[in-house]
Structure 1
Amino acid sequence: MFVLGLDVGGTSSRAVLLDASGRRVGYGRAAGGNPAAHGTEVAAANIGRALEPALRGIDPAQVAGAVIGMAGAGALERTVFDLMWASAGLRPAPRLTGDLGIAFAAGTAEPCGTVLIAGTGAIAARIEDGEPTVIADGLGWLLGDEGSGFWLGREAARVAARALSRGEADGCLVRLVAGALRDDESPPDAVHVTRGPRGPQGSGNGAQEAQGRSPGNGEVLRGGVPEIGAGAAGTLAGMRALAIKLVIGAQSRPPLELARLAPLVSQAAAEGDPAALEIVDTAARLLCRTVAEVRTAEESGPVVLSGSVLTSEGPVCSAVRERLGASTVLAGDGAGAAAWLAGREAFGWDPVTAARLHERIVSGG
């Protein structure tokens, strides 16, 4: 007998198949299956594509249970989803749950505690008996998601736009954001990068080398950080033009694309850039404030940190852990956590066995 666990988000859908001993026997991955983001038909199709490799080589009728952690589950049309599920040969209806409980289970086998997720968005919840009971933030990029990847990227763009509009380009963060603009727009004499031992640095993707461009007449900066060129873009008018390009670029794309600038904040903070350090400190303060809305000072359960901003061991994660001063743990594999929950329900693992298997399953072992 087997159980299935699925972690379904906006960018990816992942499925894990376990046997009764907790051994991982199947895995599949496909594109995002969040129905709120993609619609039910596309979401169901992508979930089905994740199931195919996970179930390869086994009889689907041997699957005794399944748990699906799904962001946007409320937008799912069950008729379409159930048809896909049945076509995969699966008999038991899966238990659908939100991503908060799955994220918490990805970090701990404890039934109660707190989870803080900071990826593109940000949300926190108190977890009791595996389910969220009090929730804070998660209000979206326009009204909330404070300290999230989007928030970090927006602050980076804001700092860069304001500095460039004043003709200031000395900060590491400003140059990194301008470098990202250079990769997107490629304005002449805008930003140039150093060439370190591993090729172009600073822009992050070697765009100049790949497209056959040379650094031109701009000077290169130490440390692999892009520099505003010595040509037209090095003047006040040129930097003002760059600021306008940045503003137009930010407002002409989907807002959440600003989250791609978040890693630049971490990079600049590691270089000691004051603006980046201030953004990191503010993000940590806002995330901890969100935790405080769902967690009392007397609580002793673990705080599970999840999402790309908090599981990369970057400066925001470090600042949050230092500020919380509580027992924090980084979340592991969400699909493994969903499978672990399914195994507890279908196989009746006792608490000792479940705790023993937890770390191995959520770590991908």
Structure 2
Amino acid sequence: MEKPVRIALDAMGGDFGPSVVVPGAAIFLERYPDVEFLMFGDQEKIAPLLQALPQLAAVTSVRHTSVAVGMADKPSQALRAGRRNSSMWKAIEAVRNGDADCAISSGNTGALMAMSKICLRTMAQIDRPALAALWPTLRGRSIVLDVGATIGADAQHYVDLAIMGAAMARSLFELERPTVGLLNVGVEEVKGIEEVKAASRLLQAIDSPLLDYRGFVEGDDIGRGAVDVVVTEGFSGNIALKTAEGTVKQIRSYLKQSLNRSWLTRLGALLARGAFEDLKARLSPRETTGAVFLGLDGVVIKGHGGLDADGFSGAIELGSNMVRHGLLDKIRDMMVLANEHAAALEGAPPILQDEDRLEAPKPDPA
């Protein structure tokens, strides 16, 4: 019998804190009973919620801390003296110390990234972590990364992103050789900035048995599901993500206005209720409510700040799946294979040739 997955929760994270985190854990527990929770936060706020959920209370240990990272805090503020006693840091620290298999927080993204990188450090051969999101498509789901962890990338970082994204796809989608594309302004090889074109040459040369590189993809290819993994840097990735989320809200608003226009349209909406519920689930699937920090020496999931309880349970599910499917081991294995293949290329050091190393500016984490 497998050991229960041990999950550390930042109970004070997000817009609603324990009022969402605790019932979200209870929803997850109903579907996956083989789990244990460590909750970090204000015990006075957590305890009454747990008392109403005896099944959850039986598998949960609460670790009190009175410090919480604010949603508006800068990463530098979050790392100042005293903040390492915060619920966010303690949840991450539990993973580092082996008390938990993964950490989940809906708190401040920048603070979570900074704390995770300092506390867990990055995996060997990975310089900069990435935030990978699940994206609903016409074919099902794709992985898009980076959606906001770090701004700018050189060719090496794009290659690292491709390898980590493919490892996540192998873990989550159970694919032997996920398809990968580089997000670009066109599919022609002559288009795009030099860093992206250099990364494309390297990915073509790798030709890994665990990664099927398909070349450049454009923005409209993401929703079509043209590839399993879409690779970009954090600036453009975050814009793409926020644009898609805004478009979903816009469509919902248009649809609601149209359906409430008259008694006849309201009657039609009532008759088509099942179809609209299905549309809602497709536009905002529960499993896309969290994103994975890839490249860390530990599993950390970032939930969206405004999640409800069901959405937060989806973020927990994502973390649990990453642990159960051995995400970290798959990333390590793929990095080794990619380096071995690149080293075998005549005159080429592992992964990156010198002429392709075009450095991008690295922003101040503050």
TM-score normalized by the length of structure 2: 0.27
The alignment's TM-score, normalised by the length of structure 1, stands at 0.27
